[in-house]
Each structure stands twice: as C-alpha cells, then as structure tokens.
Amino acid sequence: MTSRTGEPDPRRWRALAVTLTAGFMSLLDVSIVNVALPSIQEGLGATDAGVQWIVSGYALTFGLVLVSGGRLGDAVGRRRMFLIALSAFVLTSALAGAAVNETMLVVARLLQGMAAGMLTPQNSGLIQELFSGAERGRAFGAFGTTVSLSTAVGPVLGGVIIGLFGAEHGWRWVFFVNIPIGVLAFVLALRLLPKAPRRTASLRSQLDFVGVVLLGLAVLGVLYPLVRSEQDGWGALWWMPLVAAVCAVAFVWWERRVVRRGGAPLLDVRLFTETPGYATGAAIGAVYFAGFAGIWLVFALYFQQGLGYTPLESGLVVTPFAIGAAVSATLAGRLVGRLGRKLTLIGLCLVVVGLGAVGVIGPLVAGSVTGFAVALPLLVAGFGGGMVISPNTTLTLEAVPTRMAGVAGGALQTGQRIGTAIGVAVLASVFHVGIDSEGGYEAGLRWAMLSAVALVMLALVLAVFDIRRRPAGEPRRRRRTARAAAPLE
C-alpha cells in the first residue's frame, strides 16, 4: 500500500514485524504444546483421548477457517480482521491457561485454533498489500523465517517453560506467555497497520455462506480422519474422505456459479486455473509440508522415548534445523527475484540430502552422541527448508490480484495444513511400524526419514515441472504484465 504521495508506506517494515510476531505465536502453538503434554496430564489429570484433542483440535479448527479468514480480510479490511483475530487469540490463550478441567482446555484449544486460522492469512495478505517488487521477496523471506522458526523452536521453548515453572503448572505458562506478547502486538498494530478504505457494500453481500459451508465440510472430511488416525486408526472414519470429495466437487460447481452470476465467491477457482504459478506452487507447498512437518513428532518420540532425552534436550537437538532455516530464508527472500523457482529446487535437494543423512547416521551411532552426529545433517536440511517456504510463497502469490491476497494466502496455507496433517499421520504410522519390527526405534527413525525424503522428492518433481513450464529466468516484467492482464483483476 502506498501513501497519498504515491510512496510506499514508511511504516511497512515495522508493521511487518508486528504481524509476524503475532503469526509466530499462532504457529508456535502448533508444536509447543507437544512438549507440555506430560505436564498437562500430571497437573490436570487429562486422559489420553483428551490429550489427543488438545493437540489435534487446534490443528483441526486452524485449518478449517483459513480460507474464510482470508476472505473476511479481503472483504472488511486486513487491519480490522488482524485486530479481531489477535484479540480472540489472546483471550482463548488465557482461557486455555486458566482451564480447570480437561473439557475446558479442549474447548479453549478449539477456539484458539479458530482464532489462529483467522489471524494467519492476514500476514500474507498484508505483505501483498504493503510491499512490491524486490521488497516483497524480502518480506516473504521474513515470513518464511517465521514459519521455520516457529515449528522448530516450539519444543525448545516449551521445554524451557516447563523447566522454569515445574511439571504441575508449567503447561499453563505455555499458554499464558501469549498474553503479554499479544497485548503488545495489538497496541502496536493499532498504530502501524494501515486502515482500509470504508466499505460501500454490505458484509452479507461480500460473503459466500454456502461456499463457507461446502469448503468447511470438504476440509473437515480430510483433516478430521487424519488428526484422529493415531488414536482411532485409519479404518473407523474411512467414509469421511468420500464425503469430502463430494463436498469439494459441489464447492467448485457453486463457486463457478457465483462467478457467472456476478457475485462474490469465497474462493474464485480461477486462482487455480488462470493465475500463473498458483496451482503448482500450492501443490509444492502442500507436499513439502507433508514431508517437513511430520519429522518433529518423529524426532520427539525417538529422542525422548527411544534414547531417554529430556524434552529440552530433544528440542535442542533440532535447533540446527531452525538456525539453518532462519539464515537461508532471509537470503532466499533477497535472491528469489533473480533465481526464481531454481531456488526452491536447490532447497528441496538440500532437504533430501539432510533428512536422508539423518536416517542413515542416526540409527548407527550411540544414543549419547546421536544429537551431535545429526547436527550437521539437520543444519543442511534446515538451510534447504528456508530456501523452500519463503520463495515458494513469493512465487505462488506473485500474480494474485491484491484484492484477493487474503483468500489466496488462506487457500495456500490450507493446503499446507492438510499436508501437515497427512505428513504427521503417515510418518507417525511408519515410525511405529518400524518400532514394532525387529529393528526397534532405530528402524522407526530410518523408515520415517525415508518416507519424509520420498514426500520431499515428490515436491521436487513438481518444482522441476514448474521450472520447465515457466523458466525461472523469465523476466519478472513479463510476469507483471501477465498479472495486469489477468481476468481476475
């Protein structure tokens, strides 16, 4: 967004820092709670079923509302939606920390996930709105750093908090820590985020309620069986993906009908068919997250249950991945304008090499030195991962009209949430199958890393397809021209 003089908003980088801080909190709560589960069971007497819902419920509602949250941001203004969602996230974090029983905590986590799902699409939408050209690549580099760090730092930060406040009440502070950070972010956002123009159309005319229901049922039909698979198995909910497929077909039909009648669709499906690079980029992101996100659960189980590491030690082992990702995501944001999809290709290759080396080296060394032995491979994998997330987001969204940036970012992240759920379910299942074999935990780690490598290689194939279809060296001015002429505009 530019000022009245036509210059970029001078507050844009400070505004980005505020929104990414809030985004970091919402993504952190996906992984940080895993470390706190023993503390929750000790302090609250939670059952195994309740613990499963405390973890999976957040991921479920998070994924369900991403597209709707992005559409609301497009319709009513991203600043307004950011402030509403951030307020809800802070309040539900306080509710979770103050929970007096298992039911209250599960409900709080469901609401917290919904608030996070409304908050997250505003980040990518605001980047599209505030930045352009090379600056947008650097902004998405910062966004990629945030995603990578929030995933990897969660176990370390959770272990530190539990260590400071004790096993009985430490889990409460995993949630309470969001309150001061969220309040500060809210105050700064009031000052720094640009106000949207006043709406002339009614909110009801801007929201596609039928589309919301159909897409919600489709996403629920995919996510729910995945997040429940570890406890209920794969067979109990076999029918839900079939319902999801029917709802997805109905959703596409309905959205096309809304467009033909000149209405405001929830998700204009022409994003996938007529926006250069969007469909392929969304597929790369979903498949990469399937391979990338599931490894954290495997590492936690392997190092804590298999090797007897403490939660903090287990978290520290994976810190090299976070360091590598933070460094490379920042660099990648500056290079994506010149290297394009080649950057993603290089990053995916490094992830394959790093995770493959972990799968080979980890089971061969003594447990006491395993953490040191896998540090370099994890650093390599992290360095590659940082070159995947932010460039892919930049390339996927670069031709999306600004007025649709929120819903496009929400759809992109919905694919990533589904990929995450698939990856966690698949890698956890493979890991447990390996444990049950004669090879024990070592076989579980090896098989899980092999599965992760296979998923990342699938993302690599998609990247090669995209680079052959649209060469990375294609001048960016041609892409901007194509964007200006896009019918979605």
Q: Read off the tokens for 236.
A: 């109990």
**What is the pLDDT confidence band of residue 247, given thresholds at 50, 70 and 90?**
very high
pLDDT tens digits, residue range 41-73? Answer: 888 888 877 877 887 788 888 888 989 898 888
**What is the pLDDT confidence band of residue 461, given thresholds at 50, 70 and 90?**
very high
The answer to whether position 199 is within a domain reads: no
Could you tell me if 396 and 251 lie in one domain?
no
Could you tell me if 281 and 134 lie in one domain?
yes
**What is the pLDDT confidence band of residue 235, given thresholds at 50, 70 and 90?**
low
Could you tell me if 169 and 258 lie in one domain?
no
Structural domain for 225, as ranges: 208-265
At residue 403, does pLDDT exceed 80? no
The answer to whether position 203 is within a domain reads: no
> What would the mean pLDDT of 294-321 be, rounded to a whole number?
84
Greater pLDDT, 422 or 476 = 422
| Boundary of a domain, candidates 222, 241, 265 | 265
The domain that holds 309 is classified in CATH as 1.20.1250.20
Could you tell me if 260 and 405 lie in one domain?
no
Could you tell me if 181 and 223 lie in one domain?
no
pTM: 0.84
Could you tell me if 392 and 470 lie in one domain?
yes
Q: How many domains does the chain have?
A: 2
At residue 348, does pLDDT exceed 90? yes
Could you tell me if 124 and 179 lie in one domain?
yes
| Boundary of a domain, candidates 265, 295, 314 | 265
> What would the mean pLDDT of 388-393 be, rounded to a whole number?
87
**What is the pLDDT confidence band of residue 124, given thresholds at 50, 70 and 90?**
confident
Could you tell me if 400 and 368 lie in one domain?
yes
At residue 465, does pLDDT exceed 80? yes
pLDDT tens digits, residue range 202-229? Answer: 666 677 889 899 999 999 898 888 777 6
The answer to whether position 202 is within a domain reads: no
Could you tell me if 223 and 296 lie in one domain?
no
| Average pLDDT across the chain, whole number | 84
